[in-house]
Amino acid sequence: MSLPCHHLTCSTFSWHLFSKTVGLPFISAPLASIPLLGCPQSVTSQPRAEQVLSGKYMSGFGNEHVSEDPRCPGALPEGQNNPQVCPYGLYAEQLSGSAFTCPRPTNKRSWLYRILPSVCHKPFKPLEEGHLTHDWDEIEPDPNQLRWKPFEIPKAAQNKMDFVSGLHTLCGAGEPRGRNGIAVHIFVCNTSMIDRCLYNSDGDFLIVPQQGKLLITTEFGKMLVEPNEICVIQQGMRFSVEVFGETRGYILEVYGAHFELPDLGPIGANGLANPRDFLVPVAWYEDRQVPGGYTVISKYQGKLFAAQQDYSPYNVVAWHGNYTPYKYHLEKFMVINAVAFDHADPSIFTVLTAKTTRAGVALADFVIFPPRWGVANNTFRPPYYHRNCMSEFMGLIKGHYEAKEEGFQPGGGSLHSMMTPHGPDADCFEKASKAKLEPERVADGTMAFMFESSLSLAVTKWGLQTSNRLDKNYYKCWEPLKSHFNPKCK
């Protein structure tokens, strides 16, 4: 017996109406009627992904968002979350990102209204794919300054590799079962994920594309993420990645905490990454059967498992809540800097933070070094020499890094571990010590970033050996530094 059908049909209407609903530019293609559970109809077409992505997103960090695919108006239940019968015969499913009893400011959940619930799948089985690990003892620790050349992207003709098979763990600490830790991954791929999706049971992915665009389909809708943008796919959210050629990037994974905006303190109410600039996708669904099998991949306790189902998981017609994927463009960051003298600490460049239970101590910070003005007087303006109780992994999206113009390349990285000395190379020191101090632009055309953690990070065997990208001459950039000490000249 079929369920009662609320709103007998999803009205056929033009993309002109769609554009008014979610802010898309006018597209004259008609939108077909959509089949409903218990309401047999035919389908002639569905909206193309690029048409959906040409529109706007919803904005706001951590907001209570509401979205429904305009092909099915009224799909969200009114006044309640879990009615006896949902509109259009949909299933109600809650996705929880926090314990039910967390205080309201940290309570995260969304309600999804979908054609079939996520529970409809075959049993999970181990999947031997990719190069993920959380075995931080597979190789002896290395306290040296480490730098990697750009990580190689395989050629499609030789080795087809999608986002999942191209994941490589570089370093990390902690353990996902204990819900405390982080991992830094590199992804390199040359083909899209076809009829398969991934979700992370262990934690959140902060994804930093360096080369190539990512078209990410999630249960909440679609996001196009380009270099100089980031996105966050939170724990449990299913997603697939389409690419358009050779693609590379970085991932910061956190276990046991979600990313949030840093406290601003004396900065005030405005500054750094503004909440309004974070974008959330709008609802988009496909009612697609996959007779050949759709593969759902779970990253669970650091390992991959796969289950089969015969339908697309992107069947969420409507949703509401504050637990969502989101993206952010790094050029929108409002830079704070020293304007009189001295070099401010890099914490002023924090975009997102995942906190620990210790006040002011981050499990992980995502920090950027964007274009800005340098105006400090009587000051050595590049980053100072430093020994830190935190671990610092740096990557480069484009351009060059101000403290090391040679050797540190886009698509590569560096790791300065706890209390390992680091700072400007010899060439940078000599130039900055003699430079005429005038207002100048710093880091134009570049974007370097840092994953900083209070944990002591171990590098994997892949990072130190298998990748074959470790720059064994990194230490030599400081060898030309010489003593300028003269006790007779102050």
**Contact 21/70 with Cβ under 8 angstroms?**
yes
Report how far residue 470's alpha carbon sits from residue 449's, in angstroms, rounded to the nearest whole number: 19
For residue 212, is it left (φ>0), alpha (ψ between -120 and 50) or beta?
left
Query: Are the CB atoms for 146 and 470 separated by under 8 Å?
Result: yes
Mean pLDDT of 320-332: 98
**Angle, CA of 446, 450 and 451, to the nearest 5°:** 150
Summarize the confidence of residues 185-189 as an average pLDDT: 98
Looking at the chain, the whole-number percentage of residues with pLDDT higher than 70 is 88
- The rounded mean pLDDT for the chain is 89
Write out the binding residues for Fe cation: 386, 392, 422
Determine the average pLDDT of the residues in 216-243: 98
Q: Is the pLDDT of residue 408 over 60?
A: yes
Which pLDDT score, from 0 to 100, does residue 252 have? Answer: 99
Q: What is the pLDDT of residue 92?
A: 98
pLDDT at 11: 35
**Which residue numbers belong to the known binding site?**
386, 392, 401, 422
R_g over Cα of the chain? 24
User: pLDDT tens digit string along 108-130?
Assistant: 999 999 999 999 999 999 999 87
Q: Is the pLDDT of residue 414 over 90?
A: yes
> How much is the pLDDT for 26?
31
Q: Residue 359, SS3?
A: coil
Rounded Cα gap, residues 210 and 446, in angstroms:
12
pLDDT of 20: 35
Q: With cut-offs at 50, 70 and 90, classify the pLDDT of residue 312.
A: very high
Across 36-50, 100-114, 117-131, 356-370, least confident range: 36-50
**pTM of structure:** 0.89
Task: Say if CB 351 and CB 328 are below 8 A apart.
Answer: yes
Check residue 329 and give its pLDDT.
98
Residues 6+ apart with CB under 8 A from 485: none
323 pLDDT band, cuts 50/70/90, is very high
| Active-site choice (7, 329, 343, 400) | 343
Name every residue whose Cβ is closer than 8 Å to that of residue 86 and which is 6 or more positions away in sequence. Answer: 6, 77, 92, 113
343 given a catalytic annotation? yes
In the chain the domains, ranked by start, together with CATH numbers, are 331-478 (2.60.120.10)
Q: CA nearest 98: which of 88, 109, 87?
A: 109
β-sheet bridge partners, residue 366 = 352, 451
First to last CA, the chain: 92
Quickly tell me which residue has 């113009």 as its tokens: 405
Question: CA 413 to CA 299: how far, in whole Å?
Answer: 25
φ, ψ for residue 394, nearest 5 deg: -120, 145
Q: pLDDT tens-digit profile of 193-216?
A: 999 999 999 999 999 999 999 999
Tens digits of residue pLDDT in 443-472: 999 999 999 999 999 999 999 999 999 999
Q: What is the mean predicted confidence (pLDDT) over 364-376?
A: 96
